[in-house]
Structure 1
Amino acid sequence: MKRNSLIICRGGGDLATGIVHRLHRAGFRVLVLETDHPAAIRRQVSFCEAVYEGKATVEGVTAQRIDSVSEMEEVFARGCVPLFVDSKGASIAELHPDVVVDAIIAKKNLGTTKEMAPLVIGVGPGFTAGVDVDLVIESMRGHNLARILEEGSALPNTGIPGNIGGFTKERVIHAPTEGFIKNIHQIGDVVEAGTEIARIYENMDESGNFSGASVAVPATITGIIRGLIREGYHFPKGFKIADIDPREGELKNCFTISDKARSIGGSVLEAVCHHVNTCS
């Protein structure tokens, strides 16, 4: 494998962005594959926003949406990361990548197999090293975060978010009802517990006008809105839509890659470099 070979990352959310950012900065060519309606809440640090905006820049690295894989080389030549809408990964067989990283973080395998590339890496639960992928990267916070597993699986999802400032599940907000979201506050805003940060409406037309019955979404704790799903997104009841950081002095964290994403990104980079050195 050479440095001008191709790495494909399935997923462009905040954890995947940490991986892609690190690989790109190390000189590797990475293509991101995403769905047509990604639902990241940490949108300021997620390359998947390029699906909607055409481009997304995170810590000096820009991802640019392409409409055909034939545009990929032009984007690489500009020093950017190409992003292609391909939720099923159909383009992988066409492109014959050297490495595939599944960082969708779906808590289950959505179709990634060892046959997709000489090195296939799965991030988080849902994969078994040596069975459906070659390596698994642990995504659970704790002593084993970002550990590279050559056999077995990552720890199962507990449904309890990591502890930040003494808060776990309290800091994450789930939709109280199905509908379309209208954001009243934005990522980076400081809010008090009980403040209405968004409202969920029954209907939204093509022009973005909201109507019908609505339900308020209050802040669960006092702090900074670190993540908030894109306005107009439609979701079912119980869907994760926001994240509040209780550390009011940590505003910059809303706009920079997290420690977790950097750690996982470092382990993926290590695995890729080991593969490069072994196969060269």
Structure 2
Amino acid sequence: MAEVLDPPTREEPGLPGNEHELDPKPEWQPRYAGSGRLKGKVAIVTGGDSGIGRAVAVLFAREGADVAIMYLNEHEDAADTRKFVEAEGRRAICIPGDLGDRDFCFKAVQQVVDAFGKLDILINNAGEQHPDEKIEDITEQQLRRTFQSNIFSMFFMVQAAMPHLKKGAAIVNCTSETMYKGAPILLDYSATKGAITAFTRSLAKNLVEQGIRVNGVAPGPIWTPLNPSGGQPPEKMPEFGKKTPMGRPGQPNEVAPSFLFLACDDASYMTGQVLHPDGGNTTQS
């Protein structure tokens, strides 16, 4: 019998958000010419329709990878990302669905292998967040959905990918600065990011003898559809990212190179590590 999932929370109906509706648009375009660092590789990017995921997908394509774009329901954004990947001369497929559903994750990974013949890189980037001033305001439904989307999905995706990952493969998980700094209005989200970091470090040790590296990226405030679509209170958006030492939010194409570095052989002696493209935020006391 199929598992019955909790429905998506309706507290912020605009989530996860559409990039084509944002003004100004996030900067996802790669900033430099490719050098073949992922030549012949096949990558899955969850949440690859927009934001950081789009920037990662296109950068990976520029570096020679074919890319599977997994996303929830932002079909127009996903189609655009596919077009951008193909413009780099690589193949792309779009797979919509709920990553909190274990059966979907297994079917989606098999679809990727059927399409491209193999799997070398898994980028666990998808996630959701819902701001609440008080812990009493976090509903059971929201708590379950946030954990299901943010950390359960990573377990499911890795479980589905393992039969296909060989020596030299890489897994990169997206955690957050909130795991290190805390976030008073993102209690459930921050808790999942702490779990993701622990999962990353533990999985790295679990898979090291198989020659599979596992690392993480912990972005700071990045201009993506997530926050202006309900991931942050609207009254806080004018100041979004301005309290970082750099005084501004980051752009997706300032985060994607961290994923590339950890996914390619440049990071061959790194596992269980986390990179921090956060404008200096985690250096503050």
> Fold-level match, TM-score > 0.5?
no
TM-score of the two chains, using structure 1 as the length reference: 0.43
Which structure is larger by alpha-carbon Rg, 1 or 2?
1
* Structure with greater proportional strand content: 1
* Structure with greater proportional helix content: 2
TM-score of the two chains, using structure 2 as the length reference: 0.42
